[in-house]
Structure 1
Amino acid sequence: MKKQELRDLVVAQARNPNRQALYLACSSSGMRSGEALHIKKKDLDLSLDRITIRINAEYTKTKAGRTTFVSKECGEKIMTYLHRLDDDDYVFTNSTGDFKTRGRAEQMALASALERLGFNEKYSSNGFYKITSHSFRAYFFTLATRKHDENYAHKMTGHGGYLMQYDRMDDKKKLEMYLELEPDLVVFDQTKNEIKIKKLQRENESIEQLRDEIQKLREVQAQYDKNIIQNLKNEGVIIE
């Protein structure tokens, strides 16, 4: 799936922010749509710069739980309605019923959007749309592989046995890797520009901090030199 197609699909769901967030979440985190449809408000962690999602093992294909992040633009969409949800409410769907019912509702909504947008090309062998719910996850996998490597992409999308060192990273380091990837994932140019501006601000802050540290080192060195000269004077080595 191309970025423009993803953008159009998100825009087409303007009346359903939960579904917009679903598309942005799967394409920016690598979650399976089935995993995303199980996510409840209590599974979100808002303490970091990006929303962290805890995916419970019982809802994953590999039966191994994991954490992942969603992009800034996805987080902003979630925050427009999160305050209305209780802890046990689903985040990415407002459909009622069991999991199969929710899944069918999303499949029908996606098919309808594909037809309206003209993205209705199908495989001749089976009649399936070429863009499916899996396409959002594949979008993430492709870009994650390009930015980091295939092991990272496999791990983030929930494939077992990959990049074990990633599991040993703390959340801060994991977020650093994600933020390096995020500019490639975002769908809307405004968000991408905001991320670039934020990055430049952080870099400028780092430069200012470095300048302050250099100035402090110079002051320490100057005081050290002054003390040496004074000691030499006291010992009569230097006569004024």
Structure 2
Amino acid sequence: MGTGVGRIEEFTSLLGNPRSASNYRSAVRRYLDFIYGPVREGKIATPEEAQRYEELAEEYFTGDHNPAIDLQRFAASLNASRTPPKSAIFWLSIVKEFFKFSGVPVDDDLWRTVKRRGPKGRRARTQEATFDKETIQKILPHMPLLAKAVFLTLISSGMRVGECLQLSLADFHLDEEPARIAIPGHIPKNGEPRTTFISREAAAAVRDWLVVREDWMLSAANRNRGLLKHYGKEYMQKQIEGDDRLFPVQASTVREGFVGALEKVGLDEKDPKTNRFKIHLHMCRKYFRTVMAQRIPLDAVELMMGHDGYLTDAYVRYTENELRQYYLQAEGAVCVGVADEVAAAVVGGRLDVLQEENAALRGELNQIQRQLVAMNAMQADVGATPEALQRLVDARIRAMKNSGEI
């Protein structure tokens, strides 16, 4: 190494993308936890714990260890703990890269053996619950404003949670229809900038959030300050000032709001094998792909989602305006908080017709209510005295004579 920087930090500094660096750092630390036992007390490593990881990494590659056996044991532990296959292969691949960076390359034969030791399959192991519009409408009213704005943004744009929470205020163009999101290249996993959109329903929720965002940030700047100081963890204090992100929070904050809503409606069931919630935020992305692909070309959907395999051809075929037109065609599918007919009316430009129909119905209802009041008064008069009934009969006879009916 010889740079004065710890081995882990030097390895992750080569990545450029801060989110990728964080993921790589976490995977290496996970491996060292397996070898030496857990170092972190919480989710975020303290400066002292980070330094301890650096010491362990140095000790590992200079001490008496067998990386080939250790890597196989690590893979087997991930299988035993029922780690989702995609997560496991991701962590193992990072550790493999770290080995190579540290002068201990993993050859192809060993790598095939390691993968055989790890979890099998390509799909997540958690048995997911049904996540349809009916389910969403049960959850949505119970979300706090911030979580609701993020949720509707995710489900109507196809973005990943991590992407959404890195976007700045300038990346959202709420003055356009539909509202456009310009995702910079440093945010997606594939490094490719892209354009997606959010529904008018989501845009309205974002505007509601913007009304309180500044006050929320002022409150958050002082939140937990005393508690963190008491426990000597000031380094965890949120750096709110100057944060230009639209949603200046961590993913865990949004998940807490989402899980709280699940608990309120009794949908917080966990898979007994993986201990993960059967409904989770990543399902927003799956929902977007499923319902949008039923209405517009799949490659247009994949392009808005940023899936690697579709980028080359799709970028040649679709302009931003073409993507916008496709989105407008399918927008009703991701307006999840209202009934289908209302979504169709709003998205189809028939809101004025719907409003006229609503006004006409209100007029008819008012007329019926007036008739009911008159009938109730009449019934009360008749019940009070028999003479009242006679007066009503006489009045009716006179009216019929005057009109020539009799």
The alignment's TM-score, normalised by the length of structure 1, stands at 0.71
Q: Following the alignment from structure 2 to structure 1, what is the Cα–Cα distance between the partners of residues 212 and 169?
A: 10
2:308 is matched with which residue? 160
2:160 is matched with which residue? 32
Q: Following the alignment from structure 2 to structure 1, what is the Cα–Cα distance between the partners of residues 146 and 248?
A: 7
Report how far residue 178 of structure 1 moved: 0.3
- 1:140-169, CA deviations, whole angstroms, 9 ceiling, x for partnerless residues? 010122112433332221111316454243
Native 8 Å contact 1:72 1:191 kept in 2: no
Report how far residue 130 of structure 1 moved: 1.2
**Structure-2 change in CA distance of 1:63 and 1:196 (3 Å):** same
Q: Following the alignment from structure 1 to structure 2, what is the Cα–Cα distance between the partners of residues 164 and 199?
A: 38
1:90 corresponds to 2:245: yes
Native 8 Å contact 1:120 1:129 kept in 2: yes
Single out whichever of 145-154 and 54-63 deviates more from structure 2: 145-154
1:12 corresponds to 2:142: yes
Report how far residue 85 of structure 1 moved: 5.6
2:204 is matched with which residue? 76
1:180 corresponds to 2:321: no
Q: Following the alignment from structure 1 to structure 2, what is the Cα–Cα distance between the partners of residues 32 and 41?
A: 17
Q: Following the alignment from structure 1 to structure 2, what is the Cα–Cα distance between the partners of residues 75 and 166?
A: 26
Q: Following the alignment from structure 1 to structure 2, what is the Cα–Cα distance between the partners of residues 94 and 4?
A: 30
Paired AA for residue 136 in structure 2: L
Q: Following the alignment from structure 1 to structure 2, what is the Cα–Cα distance between the partners of residues 124 and 63?
A: 36
2:286 is matched with which residue? 138
Paired AA for residue 62 in structure 1: N
Native 8 Å contact 1:41 1:88 kept in 2: no
Report how far residue 125 of structure 1 moved: 2.0
**Structure-2 change in CA distance of 1:83 and 1:119 (3 Å):** closer
1:22 is matched with which residue? 150
1:45 is matched with which residue? 173
Native 8 Å contact 1:183 1:195 kept in 2: yes
Aligned identity (percent) is: 25
Which sections of structure 1, spanning at least 5 residues, go unmatched?
Answer: 96-101, 202-240
Q: Following the alignment from structure 2 to structure 1, what is the Cα–Cα distance between the partners of residues 257 and 208?
A: 21
2:64 is matched with which residue? none
More relative contact order, 1 or 2 (CA 8 Å, 6+ apart): 1
Report how far residue 47 of structure 1 moved: 4.5
Q: Following the alignment from structure 2 to structure 1, what is the Cα–Cα distance between the partners of residues 311 and 352?
A: 30
**Structure-2 change in CA distance of 1:136 and 1:20 (3 Å):** same
Q: Following the alignment from structure 1 to structure 2, what is the Cα–Cα distance between the partners of residues 19 and 192?
A: 25
Q: Following the alignment from structure 1 to structure 2, what is the Cα–Cα distance between the partners of residues 89 and 83?
A: 15
**Structure-2 change in CA distance of 1:110 and 1:84 (3 Å):** closer
**Structure-2 change in CA distance of 1:46 and 1:105 (3 Å):** closer
Paired AA for residue 288 in structure 2: F
Question: The residue matched to 1:67 in structure 2 has which SS?
Answer: strand
2:87 is matched with which residue? none
Q: Following the alignment from structure 2 to structure 1, what is the Cα–Cα distance between the partners of residues 151 and 290?
A: 16
- 1:102-145, CA deviations, whole angstroms, 9 ceiling, x for partnerless residues? 11212222222212111122223201111111011111010122
Greater Cα radius of gyration, structure 1 or 2? 2
Q: Following the alignment from structure 2 to structure 1, what is the Cα–Cα distance between the partners of residues 179 and 347?
A: 15
Report how far residue 45 of structure 1 moved: 1.9
Native 8 Å contact 1:166 1:174 kept in 2: no
Paired AA for residue 128 in structure 1: R
Deviation beyond 4 Å, 4+ runs, structure 1: 83-88
The alignment's TM-score, normalised by the length of structure 2, stands at 0.43
- 1:156-185, CA deviations, whole angstroms, 9 ceiling, x for partnerless residues? 211113164542433221110001111111
Matches within 5 A, 1:54-69: 54-69=182-197
Single out whichever of 103-112 and 35-44 deviates more from structure 2: 103-112
Paired AA for residue 194 in structure 1: V
Q: Following the alignment from structure 2 to structure 1, what is the Cα–Cα distance between the partners of residues 244 and 256?
A: 22
Q: Following the alignment from structure 2 to structure 1, what is the Cα–Cα distance between the partners of residues 164 and 281?
A: 11
